[in-house]
């Protein structure tokens, strides 16, 4: 069997995920599931063995496309578990089962988003002024629900350099009719004093409850505590990264220097991390579909639910498999 080539549509989706044309962890997950489903539908594999090899190739490409995306990795892990769980009778039966699994998974995530929006809106007191940093679809759903309930007075949001994700936030807030003000990233400290709370998304939750989110979140969160402004982070439970329980580090994605400045100067190096890590002690609570929980309590809950005390070898082998 010759080396299989990924389809043009799959490569296009992969490029959009890598280049950040697809923004936000939940949108990355959706794009990955859609791309994988289309690829599975188009596999011409004649045997189950070759089908699984083709699937693993596509999954590896998605897994490695964005280093800091536990929610996407969770979706891929669910698919891999389905494949490894039992021997399929035929290619077509396996194809049908996997497509059904992907569809069911995405429906579950949509229901999770609905719950997070409801729980999150309840956590916003009437007349609130909220500061948010970077663009998060989960945060946007909460803000829109809170505004519908008459709880939200105004939203301050950062421009979010260097790729200006704040402009996406601006478009969505404007469309929803929510009074909003865009501010410079460096002006966050001054505007925090006017805010009732600091609300962000999360790209990953670590084993100790620490929060991985857009670079700059840590600094604003620390300032928020000094001003007495509580930091809430909204995310799906699938943002929890179980690999960090076993000593695997959450990779902080380093973006190209050209995103900051295209000019090359002697002796000049540009650092462009996409994310930073906010210690759990600065975050009041995580707003998830499982409820509103302190970060360390949430991490403990996920440890128990995933039965991680019994699955260390499974997660370690999965990580090695995807990095081969």
Report d(CA 263, CA 36) in Å as an integer. Answer: 37
Give 146-186 pLDDT, tens digit per residue. 999 999 999 999 999 999 999 999 999 999 999 999 999 99
Q: What angle do CA 67, 95, 323 make, to 5 degrees?
A: 25
The confidence score (pLDDT) of residue 310 equals 83
Q: In which residue ranges of the chain is pLDDT below 70?
A: 1-4, 85-86, 321-324
* Fold entry, domain 115-310: Rossmann fold (3.40.50)
Q: What angle do CA 67, 72, 77 make, to 5 degrees?
A: 105
* Fold entry, domain 8-113+311-323: 1.20.120
Q: 1 CB contacts (<8 Å, ≥6 apart)?
A: 50
Pair 159, 216: CB distance under 8 Å: no
Q: Which two tokens stand for residue 303?
A: 């440890």
What distance, in Å, lies between the first and last C-alpha atoms of the chain?
20
Report d(CA 301, CA 297) in Å as an integer. Answer: 6
pTM, rounded to two decimals: 0.89
Catalytic positions, written as ranges: 134, 203
Q: 223 CB contacts (<8 Å, ≥6 apart)?
A: 188, 189, 192
Question: Domain spans of the chain?
Answer: 8-113+311-323, 115-310
Report d(CA 130, CA 8) in Å as an integer. Answer: 42
- Whether omega before 202 lies within 30 degrees of 0, making that bond cis, reads no
* The two domains 8-113+311-323 and 115-310 share their CATH topology (first three levels equal): no
The confidence score (pLDDT) of residue 2 equals 45
* Buried-state track 222-242, b at ≥16 Cβ within 10 A, e below 16: ebbeeeebbbbbbbbbbbbbb
Cross-strand partners of 231: 198
């Amino acid at each position: 069997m010759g080396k299989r080539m990924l389809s043009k549509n799959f490569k296009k989706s992969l490029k959009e995920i890598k280049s950040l044309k697809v923004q936000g962890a939940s949108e990355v997950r959706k794009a990955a599931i859609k791309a994988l489903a289309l690829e599975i539908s188009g596999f011409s594999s004649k045997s189950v063995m070759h089908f699984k090899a083709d699937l693993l190739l596509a999954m590896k490409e998605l897994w490695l496309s964005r280093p800091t995306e536990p929610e996407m990795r969770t979706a891929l892990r669910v698919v891999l578990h389905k494949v490894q769980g039992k021997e399929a009778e035929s290619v077509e039966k396996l194809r049908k089962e996997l497509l059904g699994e992907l569809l069911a998974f995405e429906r579950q995530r949509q229901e999770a988003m609905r719950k997070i929006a409801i729980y999150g809106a309840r956590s916003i007191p009437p007349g609130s002024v909220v500061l948010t940093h970077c663009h998060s679809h989960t945060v946007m759903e909460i803000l829109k629900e809170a505004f519908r309930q008459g709880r939200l007075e105004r939203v301050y949001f950062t421009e979010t350099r260097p790729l200006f994700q704040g402009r996406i936030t601006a478009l969505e807030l404007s469309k929803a009719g929510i009074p909003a003000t865009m501010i410079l990233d460096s002006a966050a400290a001054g505007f925090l004093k006017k805010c009732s709370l600091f609300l962000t998304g999360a790209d990953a939750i670590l084993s100790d409850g620490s929060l991985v989110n857009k670079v700059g979140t840590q600094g604003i969160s620390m300032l928020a505590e000094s001003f007495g402004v509580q930091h809430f982070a909204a995310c799906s439970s699938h943002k929890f990264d179980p690999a960090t329980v076993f000593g695997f580090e959450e990779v902080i994605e380093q973006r190209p220097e050209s995103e900051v400045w295209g000019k090359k100067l002697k002796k000049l190096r540009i650092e462009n991390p996409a994310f930073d890590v906010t210690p759990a002690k600065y975050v009041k609570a995580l707003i998830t579909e499982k409820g509103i929980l302190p970060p360390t309590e949430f991490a403990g809950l996920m440890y128990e639910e995933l039965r991680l005390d019994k699955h260390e070898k499974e997660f370690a082998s999965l990580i090695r498999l995807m990095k081969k």
